[in-house]
Amino acid sequence: MKSNYKIIIIITTLLLMLSVIISTANYMVSLKSTQIHLKTQSLPLSIDNIYTEIQKHLIEPYLVSSMMAHDTFLKDWLLHDEKSTHKIAKYLDSIKNKYEMLTAFLVSQKSKKYYTHNGFLEEIKKENPTNKWYFEFKDIPKSHEINLDFNENFTNSLIMFINFKIYDNNYNFIGVTGIGIEISYIDEMLRTFKKDYRLNVYFLDKNGNVVLTKQDKITPKHIDEMQELKAYKDKIIDKNTDIIEYEKNGEKYIVKTKYIPELDIYLIVEAKLNDFSKEAKEVFYINLGLSLSFTLIFSIIIMIILRNYHQKLERLADFDSLTQIPNRHNFDKQFKQFLALQKRDERPICLVFIDIDDFKTINDELGHQIGDDVLVQTAKILNNGIRKTDLIARWGGEEFVIAFIDTHINDAHSITQKIRESIEKDAILKKAIGYSLTASFGLTSCNKYDTIDTVISRADKAMYEAKQHGKNRVVLARTQPTE
């Protein structure tokens, strides 16, 4: 068993060393590949994912605005019932609440009146700068647009408007409808990008103004305020996608740009290399910790398995697999120790040799399974008839041996007789073979000159004498050797 523990220690040490070496090598490779991957794959893929996320958030407002533009109620109201202001206010209010929009609006081409969920808001005029969007949109060929604007009637924050033109059945332009989304919604989305992807995301218009970004007190308002980036202004505000590398405060950054035609703005995604290297370092420590933990767990499991396996081997070596009592080897080992004590302390020890009568007939006529059942039950009877301090073993075949420790011959004889009667009267054995089972016993006491061989030989002869005199009896050994 000690050699097994040495092997476990060696294996554990090698596995620990291997875990450290592999984890360190993986970390070094990961650091290098992270930088390459960030430039060639991760950042381009991230910006596409962000673009897709933005488009996804625009789908529902876009569909709602489109649905309003094709709503027959809204068309009929513009053409025939515009005086019923409460009806359009109720309609726009239901759209706003149902889809949780900041606002839903309608502008009539005929009356130039601007309606919201609160009813009539204002009459739009060309000379009013805040109404410029309507007249510009009316004159372009597109049926819809998405733009960013401030509207003091709703909120002081930036609003994303999705506008759709309304046409009658003859394709005549009769008005504009749409919805507005508060910019705080987009701001929260950008914060999520920063948290989940560790990317700084903002949007520039064609003039370099920062129109959308994660809101905070130090947010620049224009690209010219970004000292390190303003030199790349022409590359950034370009409809062609580009990657730019620059350094700020000793840190290396990579910038990826993308033009978003739906909003006519430029998506800027900025990544700091150390943020991604930090993740590689964290992964290194996690992998190393997991490797070491699994190695230790593996070693503990192997140790437990070996210990259990060793215990099973010891039991197999010392116990009879059928009857579950000690075997001959185990008996020899323990009985020799008691014989040595007997010679020193003159402790009384008796030994009885037992053989089941006519066992071969049982096997031949009833089968080996019944024979095995008889052996098992007989072993139980023998084991139950002795003390815990006594020794018992299956000697081989249908033979058993018992050593009575600290027991005089008369007491041993009485105990043996009781065991013989228990076997003969046992109901389980009688049911198994159809008649009462018997056994023959050869009993002897030990003296200080005995060896295990002389004691076993003497008890064995007494047992055969019991067989010759009719079986089912206990015979005491006639003589004992002296010095």
Identify whether residues 80 and 157 lie together within a single domain: yes
Q: Are 265 and 395 part of one and the same domain?
A: no
Tokens found for residue 157: 């924050």
* Closest alpha carbon to 466 in 454, 452, 476, 480: 476
- pLDDT, tens digit, 9 for 90 and up, residues 146-162: 777 766 555 556 678 89
The pLDDT value recorded for residue 150 is 61
The reply to whether 291 falls in a domain is no
In a shared domain, residues 342 and 249: no
The more confident residue out of 392 and 248 is 392
Domain presence at residue 29:
no
Q: What CATH number should be reported for the domain holding residue 57?
A: 3.30.450.20
Alpha-carbon gap, residue 60 to 50, rounded angstroms: 17
Instruction: Say yes or no: 113 and 262 in one domain.
Output: yes
In a domain, 56, yes or no: yes
Q: What pTM did the predictor assign?
A: 0.44
* Same-domain pairing of 206 and 269: yes
Instruction: Say which DSSP state 239 is in.
Output: S
Q: Is residue 482 scored above 50 in pLDDT?
A: no
**Whole-number Å distance between alpha carbons of 224 and 237:** 12
Structural domain contains residue 26: no
Chain centre to alpha carbon of residue 122: 61
Long-range Cβ contact pairs of 54-61 (< 8 A, separation 24 or more): 54/189, 54/260, 54/267, 55/262, 57/185, 57/186, 57/189, 58/146, 58/162, 58/262, 60/99, 61/99, 61/101, 61/160, 61/162, 61/179, 61/181
The yes-or-no verdict on residue 414 having pLDDT over 70 is yes
Which of 274, 296, 319 is the last residue in one of the domains? 274
Of residues 399 and 341, which shows the higher confidence score?
A: 399
pLDDT at 178 over 50: yes
Same domain, 174 and 269: yes
User: How many structural domains comprise the chain?
Assistant: 2
- Pick the last residue of a domain from 207, 239, 274: 274
Same domain, 348 and 260: no
Please report which confidence band the pLDDT of residue 193 belongs to, taking 50, 70 and 90 as the band edges: confident
- Cβ 422 vs Cβ 439: under 8 Å: no
Q: Looking at the structure, tell me whether residues 339 and 445 fall in a common domain.
A: yes
- 264 and 131 part of one domain: yes
| CATH code for position 334 | 3.30.70.270
For residue 156, what are the domain limits? 34-274
Kindly state whether residue 232 falls inside one of the protein's structural domains. Answer: yes
For 289-340, write each residue's pLDDT tens digit: 877 787 778 777 777 777 776 666 666 678 998 999 999 999 999 999 999 8
Average pLDDT of the chain to the nearest whole number: 85
What would you measure as the largest C-alpha separation in the chain, in angstroms? 139
Confidence bin at 479 (pLDDT 50/70/90): low
Domain boundary among 254, 274, 294: 274
Nearest to 230 by CA among 240, 241, 239, 221: 221
Question: Is residue 461 domain-resident?
Answer: yes
Comparing 257 with 443, the larger pLDDT belongs to 443
In a domain, 293, yes or no: no
**Phi-psi label, residue 151: left if phi above 0, alpha if psi -120 to 50, beta otherwise:** beta
Six token digits for residue 222: 């224009």
Phi/psi of residue 116, each to 5°?
-130, -170
Examine residue 342 and state whether it is found in any structural domain, yes or no: yes
Question: Same domain for 235 and 91?
Answer: yes
151 and 225 share one domain: yes
Q: Are residues 68 and 191 in the same domain?
A: yes
Q: What are phi and psi of 40, to 5 degrees?
A: -95, -25
Question: What are the pLDDT digits (tens) for 198-248?
Answer: 788 888 888 888 876 655 545 678 888 888 888 888 888 888 877 888 888
For 299-323, letters b (16+ CB in 10 Å) and e give: beeeeeeeeeeeeeeeeeeebbeeb
User: Of the segments 11-25, 114-128, 234-248, which one has the largest average pLDDT value?
Assistant: 114-128
